[in-house]
Structure 1
């Protein structure tokens, strides 16, 4: 078996998206538009983002046998993602219910479905694929036992976007190089590691994460770009200014583009600069995977 540069162990979902003028208050009912299904799941999103940019990517995950499964898998096939690690289980395909307001901001509720089957034993079936990867990319939408086992099997670089922030093994989490997180997730990870903080300052959070034992950290800061932190110091990463249409999946676009560049040998800061442009591109389109650029698309530039 030839080595795959990037292996993604993660979730595969069908996204149900609705649009509203504003997000409802608790107990309030609003009329919305949309109600259509598209492909999603943080694992699949990141695999598609990397694949569309020309990276060599394989996916390990699970779907159901319901009608939504094919819709969830089709974009990965079109992006050239190797699907040998994807199987259909007795569960339904994972579901994400996404509500997007007129400002492009979203709320998401995820029902795991078949993603809950990506356990220690499931991951073990693909041990050779994981061990042969140059980069293992994982998120927080699969069981901790599957996450931990994949990290233990990895012999290459491990990149972790622990979203949502769920309890996983400390040793396995600290293998992340880098940990990708936004400010909220960074604070939650620190709490999980026994170093709770009330700070929302990106620099404070980045330093605290390095002190906990991470080799490197990349904090994604939305319209403020990103922050790269490692033993050499902190580097601010600017992002292009765009008119956001829908921010769903923009963080996943960043993650996929980031590992695609890392697989080409880029430094952390250079990979993050490229990823910020891809994330900004994704914000100008609707949905997650449908908004991602290919290698031929012109990406927005950073002004100045």
Structure 2
């Protein structure tokens, strides 16, 4: 089974869904509620595991009772979890509060991101994490816990495929990008010194830049030129974590089908992410029989 590492943020996502967004000072009953692990690296790892990847998440959880909810969710969905926090009595992991409007598939998210728990994160990877990283075939960085990211970068095999999830620019990307095969960002990402995020990511040293824009065509930009990949047209009801699913599927495709052109890998990831948007809730989409079809594409 192909092995991949995901290094970065985990949160606990509290999701309320209803047909439309609430107005100011409005109270209303939610149509559905969900509780699951979240965060870019965590959701990407869950997606990759569903696609048949041996996925290990290196993250910070701590020993607060809320961390057990996230930890159990990740393990239930096939992700090996290495918690870098080795002290006791930690504050809770970050909570993300999400309001989802299903009629428009729009959501609002507030979170502390790494929050108070960041103080308990060591400056270098623990031994168990280093062992996994030193044997990794591929790794995804989301830019959180930059000291750990640099520690991992120094221990990676030269052959490891590296994918960057550039959700928002972080200084550590200056160190990671020169070794990255793929850097993925949204069209509204801001890269210092660049008016075009794709060109900015290439200037930082990434081999290729992938720029997504929701349901709009995806830009695949390399030094030799640019392609455009149209994602499937679907009736979206829930876009939460769709970008994370895209990144997890992209890494899986790059790992399992390295000889395929990058445009195929991006198209594969777009199809996986589009499926995510058609199902309400952070995990129910993983029960779709289409997931097995996708996993089969990676081994054919």
SS in 2 for 1:277: helix
CA contact (8 A) 2:12 2:94 kept: yes
CA contact (8 A) 1:219 1:228 kept: yes
CA contact (8 A) 2:84 2:121 kept: no
Which of the numbers 67, 77, 80 marks the counterpart of 1:79?
A: 77
Name the CA shift for 1:287/1:275 in 2 (closer, same or farther; >3 Å): same
Name the CA shift for 1:220/1:119 in 2 (closer, same or farther; >3 Å): farther
The separation in 1 between residues aligned to 2:152 and 2:2, in whole angstroms, is 15
The separation in 1 between residues aligned to 2:11 and 2:150, in whole angstroms, is 21
Where does residue 100 of structure 1 map in the other structure?
Answer: 100
Where does residue 139 of structure 2 map in the other structure?
Answer: 136
Name the CA shift for 1:4/1:154 in 2 (closer, same or farther; >3 Å): farther
The separation in 1 between residues aligned to 2:235 and 2:179, in whole angstroms, is 36
The answer on 1:31 being equivalent to 2:35 is no
Name the CA shift for 1:167/1:48 in 2 (closer, same or farther; >3 Å): same
CA contact (8 A) 2:242 2:274 kept: yes
The separation in 1 between residues aligned to 2:122 and 2:134, in whole angstroms, is 17
TM, length-normalised to structure 2: 0.83
CA contact (8 A) 1:4 1:132 kept: no
TM, length-normalised to structure 1: 0.82
The separation in 1 between residues aligned to 2:173 and 2:276, in whole angstroms, is 32
Where does residue 240 of structure 1 map in the other structure?
Answer: 232
The separation in 1 between residues aligned to 2:116 and 2:52, in whole angstroms, is 28
The separation in 1 between residues aligned to 2:7 and 2:171, in whole angstroms, is 17
Where does residue 160 of structure 1 map in the other structure?
Answer: 164
Where does residue 201 of structure 1 map in the other structure?
Answer: none
- Summarize deviations over 1:234-257 as a string: whole Å, max 9, x none: 121111111111100000111111
Name the CA shift for 1:291/1:66 in 2 (closer, same or farther; >3 Å): farther
Q: Which moved more, 1:112-121 or 1:97-106?
A: 112-121
CA contact (8 A) 2:177 2:204 kept: no
Which of the numbers 166, 175, 179 marks the counterpart of 2:179?
A: 175
Name the CA shift for 1:44/1:106 in 2 (closer, same or farther; >3 Å): same
The separation in 1 between residues aligned to 2:125 and 2:49, in whole angstroms, is 23
CA contact (8 A) 1:103 1:245 kept: yes
CA contact (8 A) 1:61 1:115 kept: no
Alignment size in residue pairs: 282
- Summarize deviations over 1:5-61 as a string: whole Å, max 9, x none: 210111221101123555457xx2222414542221211100000000101211111
CA contact (8 A) 1:40 1:289 kept: no
Name the CA shift for 1:208/1:30 in 2 (closer, same or farther; >3 Å): same
Which ranges of 4 or more aligned residues in structure 1 deviate by more than 6 Å?
Answer: none
SS in 2 for 1:30: coil
* Gap runs ≥5 in structure 2: 296-300
* Gap runs ≥5 in structure 1: 198-203, 300-304
Name the CA shift for 1:148/1:24 in 2 (closer, same or farther; >3 Å): farther
The separation in 2 between residues aligned to 1:254 and 1:277, in whole angstroms, is 8
Name the CA shift for 1:288/1:115 in 2 (closer, same or farther; >3 Å): farther
Which of the numbers 260, 278, 284 marks the counterpart of 1:284?
A: 278
Q: How does 1:184-263 map to 2 (within 5 A)?
A: 184-185=188-189, 188=190, 190-191=191-192, 195-197=193-195, 204-263=196-255
The separation in 1 between residues aligned to 2:218 and 2:122, in whole angstroms, is 32
